[in-house]
Amino acid sequence: MAQALYLDHNATTPLRPVAQRAIAEALAATGNPSSVHGFGRAQRRLVEDARETVAALAGASAESVVFTSGGTEANTLALLGAGCRRVLVSAVEHDSVLAAADGAVRIPVDGDGVVEVAALEALLAKAKPPVLVSVMLANNETGVIQPVAAVAETAHRFGALVHCDAVQGAGKLAFAMDDLGVDMLSLSAHKMGGPQGTGALIVRSGTEILPVVRGGGQERGLRAGTEAVALIAGFGAAAAEAKDSGPTWPEIETLRDRIEAHVVKTAPGARIFGRGAPRLANTSCLAMPGVANEVQVMAFDLAGIAVSAGAACSSGTVGPSHVLGAMGASESDARSAIRVSLGWTTRADDADRFAAAWTSLYERLAARARERTRAA
């Protein structure tokens, strides 16, 4: 049987060898980075070096980086730490933002999943300060890129604070925090070839937030607890390589487009979500008409190909994706959508293998679905 094919990079990326080496080296050493002796200072150096490379990836200053346990914690720190009673979030945010901003007002998106800046402006005009606005850089399910600079400019005109969940965009898009104009930005190491369990919130200097995890002075008092030095070292190494790997994304985009062209040719009823908007080069959210996404994911798995039904963290739960729902997708389209996400390990023949598997599943499963409809 052919080797298993991993096309679920938005759930997590394979660890880059440079990150694996950095983690192994750091794990072999002893020392608490807060200790003043030589052992501690050596660990501190690893954390501070990583802070520099992570900051460089986001076009931010090293002092503004607060290491966390990942994207979820970074989002939670931004939303809870800002202490704003009024919160506006896009309707397509990751669950970690929606859960931290319980009761937040949702900013609508258009049919391609792009935030409607005019609607944000109308909501801001009605909201009593202090207000926090949170809009992601790129969506995890569709790859759709949001007009974050326009969101920040609009929100700042009303005196609001702005947070951006850049977990999926970072390492796939070149951007600088200053150009986006946001006050806080979340990152996660394992979406860019780093390890799971570490991430960062970048907090622009002058932005006042309170810690959520308390009890130590680490990370400028914004995140208590001994730093996960080895994971942070792996994050730093992955961020440095991800920053330099920009030229591979146009190739990945060609492969993604080849898959989509094949799917649309094979099944004229197939739908590709967000296709009319700027998207990440690696992501495709595809609906195979009439076939439930869990059935597709299992069938691809049997064929040795890993894809997912929507967001990895919410797959397994009942109900169609809130992202596709907010884009106005019908329930049947949303329930038949899978996410294919390519990445730094994807090769040209992987795209062809996926396309061939899609056709063979479509011919088998869609025919079966049609028979069931006829019999019903």
d(Cα 332, Cα 17) in Å, to the nearest integer?
41
* CB neighbourhood size of 187 (10 A): 31
Contacting residue, 72, 76, 90, 134, with ligand PMP by CB under 6 A: 72
Contacting residue, 16, 51, 86, 94, with ligand PMP by CB under 6 A: 94
d(Cα 9, Cα 67) in Å, to the nearest integer?
22
**Measured CA distances, 75 to 96, 158, 287 (Å):** 7, 22, 29
Q: Which residue is nearest to ligand PMP (CB)?
A: 71
Cα angle for residues 275, 276, 281 (degrees, 5° grid): 50
Closer residue to ligand PMP, CB minimum distance, 132 or 357: 132
**Nearest distance from residue 72's CB to ligand PMP, in Å?**
3
Closer residue to ligand PMP, CB minimum distance, 188 or 282: 188
Place of tokens 């810690």: 211
Place of tokens 């501690």: 40
**Nearest distance from residue 165's CB to ligand PMP, in Å?**
5
Query: Which 312-371 positions form the footprint of ligand PMP (CB under 6 A)?
Result: 313
Q: Is 313 a catalytic residue?
A: yes
Size of residue set near ligand PMP by CB under 6 A: 16
Q: Are 228 and 41 in contact (CB under 8 A)?
A: no
80 is a site residue for ligand PMP (CB under 6 A): no
Q: Are 309 and 318 in contact (CB under 8 A)?
A: no
234 is a site residue for ligand PMP (CB under 6 A): no
70 is a site residue for ligand PMP (CB under 6 A): yes
**Nearest distance from residue 236's CB to ligand PMP, in Å?**
16
**Measured CA distances, 233 to 67, 116, 296, 333 (Å):** 11, 38, 37, 42
SS3 223: coil
**Nearest distance from residue 194's CB to ligand PMP, in Å?**
10
Residues with catalytic function: 313
| List of residues contacting ligand PMP (CB under 6 A) | 70-72, 75, 94, 96, 136, 140, 165, 167-168, 188, 190, 199, 311, 313
